[in-house]
Amino acid sequence: MEKKKKSLLVIYHSQGGTMDRLAQRFARGAALEAEVAVILKKAGEADANDLLQCDAIAIGSPEYFGTMAGMIKDFFDRTFETAQEQTIGLPFVLFVCAGNDGRGALTQMDRIAAGYKWRKALEHRRIAGPPTEQDLADLEELGHTLSAGLDFGIF
């Protein structure tokens, strides 16, 4: 019998393209594990079915005015009632890009994840200022680490 691939959902919001680049690099690292299917979606296109079918989730948001992007909050709002009870313990990680801080967005998303009762799989990644090549490489490694941990059953 063929082993069913586990799936990693990566959702993000991007207006100017920076978070799009970051999410792409995260997904590229995650895709290094052949036994994990990586689903990359903008938050506005993701729905409760995506959330219910994944085995882990990564969420990328820019920080706007000290908060997460509205489309990330919208994703949480649209999926909570349907998915909350069915996703308890879901491994997750967050990544944020901010002009100067990013802590506000991370705090908000972490609190919402606690409401879902998800399980933090790895340290969240916060990038303050324009992302460097090292930031992109670190994010790719974070994606690979989450995917490998999912494949090996660590998360």
CB–CB of 141/29 below 8 Å? yes
Q: What is the mean pLDDT of each run of 10 residues along the chain (155 residues)?
A: 84 96 98 97 98 98 95 98 97 94 95 97 96 97 98 94
Q: What is the pLDDT of residue 3?
A: 65
CB–CB of 71/13 below 8 Å? yes
Of the CATH numbers 3.20.20.70, 3.40.50.300, 3.40.50.360, 3.30.70.3040, which one belongs to the domain with range 6-152? 3.40.50.360
CA–CA dist 82, 41 (Å, integer)? 19
Give the predicted TM-score (pTM) of the model.
0.95
CA–CA dist 80, 17 (Å, integer)? 27
| Residue ranges covered by each domain of the chain | 6-152
For 95, phi then psi, to 5°, come to -140, 135
In 3-state terms, what secondary structure has residue 94? Answer: strand
